[in-house]
Amino acid sequence: MPHDLSPADLDRIRTWTPIDEDLVGVADDVARLCREVRLATGAADLARSHHWADVEGVDAHLDLPYLDDDSVFHRLDLFLPHDAVLRGGTTLPVYVDIHGGGFTYGSKELNRSFCQHLAAKGFAVFSLNYRLLPTVTFLEQLEDVAAAFRWIAGHLADYPVSREAVFVTGDSAGGALGFYATALACNPDAARAAGIPDWGLRPRGAALVSGLYDLAPLLDGSADGPATFLTALAPVFWDEHFRSLEPRFRDYAAMVAELDLPPIYLCTSSDDFLEADSLLLGAALARAGKRFEIQDWAPAPGVTLGHVFPVCVSWLEESDAVLNRIREFSYRLL
Q: What is the pLDDT of residue 12?
A: 97
Q: Is the dihedral of CA 36, 40, 43, 45 positive or negative?
A: negative
- Please name which of 84, 112, 117 lies closest in space to residue 99, comparing C-alpha atoms: 112
How far apart are alpha carbons 136 and 133 in whole angstroms? Answer: 5
Checking DSSP bridges between strand 92-98 and strand 161-171, what pairing results, if any? parallel
| Number of CB atoms found within 10 A of residue 270's CB | 11
225 pLDDT exceeds 80? no
pLDDT tier at 228 (50, 70, 90 boundaries)? confident
Region 87-96 average pLDDT: 96
138 pLDDT exceeds 50? yes
Question: Which DSSP string do the residues of 286-307 spell out, in sequence order?
Answer: HHTT--EEEEEE-PPTT----T
Contacts for 177 with CB less than 8 Å, ≥ 6 apart:
98, 130, 141, 142, 145, 170
How far apart are alpha carbons 215 and 138 in whole angstroms? Answer: 11
221 pLDDT exceeds 90? no
Query: What does the mean pLDDT of the chain come to?
Result: 95
Residue-wise pLDDT for 184-207, tens only, equals: 999 999 999 999 999 999 999 999
- The least confident of 42-56, 217-231, 277-291 is 217-231
Q: Is the dihedral of CA 224, 309, 100, 188 positive or negative?
A: negative
How far apart are alpha carbons 238 and 164 in whole angstroms? Answer: 33
Region 147-170 average pLDDT: 97
Look at 233 and 77; give whichever has higher pLDDT. 77
How far apart are alpha carbons 83 and 120 in whole angstroms? Answer: 10
Region 262-274 average pLDDT: 97
Region 104-115 average pLDDT: 97
Residue-wise pLDDT for 41-60, tens only, equals: 999 999 999 999 999 999 99
pLDDT tier at 235 (50, 70, 90 boundaries)? confident
* Fold held by 55-331: Rossmann fold (3.40.50)
73 pLDDT exceeds 70? yes
182 pLDDT exceeds 60? yes
Count of residues in the chain: 334
Q: What is the pLDDT of residue 236?
A: 86
2 pLDDT exceeds 70? no
Q: What is the pLDDT of residue 83?
A: 95
- The least confident of 70-74, 200-204, 235-239 is 235-239
Give, as one character, the DSSP assignment of residue 238: S
The answer to whether the predicted template modeling score (pTM) of the entire model surpasses 0.95 is yes
1 pLDDT exceeds 50? no
Radius of gyration of the chain from its Cα atoms, rounded to whole angstroms:
19
Residue intervals in the chain for CATH 3.40.50.1820: 55-331
